[in-house]
Amino acid sequence: MPNAPTRRAALALLAAAALPCGLARAQDEVAPATLVGLDALLDEAASLDALETVLVSRRRTVLAERGYGGAAPDRPTNIKSASKTIVSALVGIAIERGLLEGVDQPVAPLLRDKLPADPDPRLYRITIGHLLTMRAGLERTSGANYGSWVASRDWVRDALARPFVDEPGGTMLYSTGSTHLLSAILARESGRSTRALAEDWLGAIDGFRITGWETSPAGIHLGGNQMAMTPRSLLAFGETYAAGGRAADGTRVVPESWIAQSWMPRTRSRFTGDGYGYAWFAREIGGRDVRYAWGYGGQMLYVVPDLDLVVAMTSDETRPSARTGYRDRLHALLGDIVAVVSRE
């Protein structure tokens, strides 16, 4: 019986032979040891019992992908709060197209009919940028408050009626309500649903498709949660950011300047200690600067810019990932992937 390294090398060759010609040729340019090393890592990753898929791409070449426990890279899954990065991309595109003025634009005039009857004057100081960075200052609608928020009849009005617990532009207060306000603004200013905008503006990304997206009682797509897509679609979105905002055919999708702005840490998460930009977390993993999206349960999209490496991981959406240490194990898995790829 062949030993494990020999078996993995044979599996890598068989997998390459089964790929479309273009992808097989691209993999031919990758060191065999890299493919074997990634295969071994994804074998070991099966011990993470909540893990459902892992996909590894470099320079838009998929080097490895795996599904666990019946999950598959081409099967839609709920990416949870990783969808906040999708909404952030739409905001950047809306600014470029002139639908929004910019990140310093005040929010209150855009949602004037949803403001409380006697609004706190600080509502008029909240900007698009504050919503993107979770620094609106309003009481969070995530965590313990999430249930009461989504049970309300008007999610926009409820989010704006929350009491201030900090000043606008203060500390980061992670709140899906902030991203939902962005979804409402995008829909109002464009006259189209947020999902229609995503399908149009991000449609040039090969393989990108949203298969499901929950709406509020008012019919507004939930900004920053309850979005379904395949792990391959999530990976393709990350590849577009890694490529400076261009789709595989060269079409400009996301402004390159917006990516740079989004990846610049502007605050810090009190839960993780990581930097946070426009819906992207920032930290060092495996000795490399990494930008990542994170959704409940362990829905992860990692971009390692200096390696042109993109990794998507999806997990059981019903199980927490932060307090259990599971998210940290996913970070460690990425660190191992970075180590293998860095040996080339």
Q: 144 exposed, middle or buried (CB, 10 Å; 0-12, 13-18, 19+)?
A: exposed
Q: Give the H/E segment covering residue 8.
A: helix 4-18
Confidence class for position 30, pLDDT limits 50, 70, 90: confident
* 157 occurs within a structural domain: yes
* 286 occurs within a structural domain: yes
Q: Is the dihedral of CA 279, 247, 74, 301 positive or negative?
A: negative
Number of structural domains the chain divides into:
1
**Structural domain harbouring 221:** 77-342
* 36 occurs within a structural domain: no
* 4 occurs within a structural domain: no
- List pLDDT tens digits, range 195-225: 999 999 999 999 999 999 999 999 999 999 9
Compute the residue count for the chain. Answer: 344
What CATH number is associated with residue 104?
A: 3.40.710.10
* 3 occurs within a structural domain: no
* 24 occurs within a structural domain: no
Strands (E), the chain: 51-58, 61-67, 77-78, 212-213, 227-229, 267-268, 275-276, 281-285, 288-295, 299-304, 309-315
How far apart are the C-alpha atoms of 319 and 296, rounded to whole Å?
A: 8
β-strand pairing of 309-315 with 299-304: antiparallel
* 48 occurs within a structural domain: no
- List pLDDT tens digits, range 122-134: 999 999 999 999 9
Confidence class for position 25, pLDDT limits 50, 70, 90: very low
Alpha helices (H) in 45-154, listed in sequence order: 84-96, 128-132, 146-151
* 31 occurs within a structural domain: no
Q: Is the dihedral of CA 27, 31, 35, 38 positive or negative?
A: negative
